[in-house]
A and B are shown apart, each in its own frame.
Chain A
Amino acid sequence: DIVMTQSPDSLAVSLGERATINCKSSQSLLYSSNNKNYLAWYQQKPGQPPKLLIYWASTRESEVPDRFSGSGSGTDFTLTINSLQAEDVAVYYCQQYYGTPRTFGQGTKVEIK
């Protein structure tokens, strides 16, 4: 199985500041034939299902605010939330879809400082 490890487990950021979440995979998620990274990011608010934010490591899902951005390649990826808003308080998960079983990171909890 591909192991996904997120860091940190939690972080507190002031409103309007930047939050950075890292995700590391145990093997490369870059498929050489199409040069795409098989990595997605989700946001989960309390009592709600996860919501897709980003796929292909950096493609924002429709209607996701542009303060959310994804970057990285191979085994190291980052989700950045620019200008954190109160509604961004949530747990964020990365997920690889390069191999089976699909696996998720353990989650990173983002709170307001």
Chain B
Amino acid sequence: QVQLHQWGAGLLKPSETLSLTCGVSGASSSGYYWSWIRQPPGKGLEWIGEISHSGTSNYNPSLKSRVTMSVDTSNNQISLKLTSVSAADTAVYYCAKLGGTWLQPLKFFDHWGQGSLVTVSS
């Protein structure tokens, strides 16, 4: 079955760059679209963006200027970079697989990573 395993730095200082990676097993990263979603402690879910292996991407306009997503098909990994972080970026970050296929993506999330808590504090 599809499994997503995330890793990356959990404590950042303001102005640093958040970097997370999501390893995929049970599916090919080139076969689907992938998303990152975040959840501030005790709050709701915020979509960060989505990407396919071909580089086709959509980002949330609220974060677009600071976000870069990429797919490494050789290692079956998806990555997220968020620059110039502040305390407002403190959240649990999730990678997620979109439904459908990369040719016909369905933009809901049928598999999720375990989540990575990123705390931004000076």
Q: Could you list which residues of chain A lie within 8 angstroms of chain B, going by C-beta atoms? A: 38, 40, 42, 49-52, 55, 61, 93, 95, 97, 100-107
CB distance from A37 to the nearest CB of B (A): 12
Q: Is the CB of B112 within 8 A of A49?
A: yes
Give the nearest-CB partner of A101 in chain B.
Answer: B60
Q: Is the CB of B107 within 8 A of A38?
A: yes
Give the nearest-CB partner of A50 in chain B.
Answer: B112
Q: Could you list which residues of chain B lie within 8 angstroms of chain A, going by C-beta atoms? A: 35, 44-47, 50, 58, 60-62, 94, 96, 99, 106-110, 112-115
The interface residues of chain A lying within 8 Å CB-to-CB of B99 are 52, 55
CB distance from B111 to the nearest CB of A (A): 8
The interface residues of chain A lying within 8 Å CB-to-CB of B110 are 52, 55, 61
Which residue of A50, A51, A55, A61 contacts B45 across the interface (Cβ within 8 Å)?
A: A50
Give the nearest-CB partner of B94 in chain A.
Answer: A49
Q: How far is the CA of A49 from the CA of B113 in the complex (A)?
A: 7
Give the nearest-CB partner of A107 in chain B.
Answer: B44
Q: How far is the CA of A61 from the CA of B109 in the complex (A)?
A: 11
CB distance from B13 to the nearest CB of A (A): 26
Which residue of A50, A97, A104 contacts B106 across the interface (Cβ within 8 Å)?
A: A97
CB distance from B43 to the nearest CB of A (A): 8
Which residue of A52, A100, A105, A107 contacts B108 across the interface (Cβ within 8 Å)?
A: A52
Q: How far is the CA of A61 from the CA of B94 in the complex (A)?
A: 20
Q: Is the CB of A101 within 8 A of B61?
A: yes
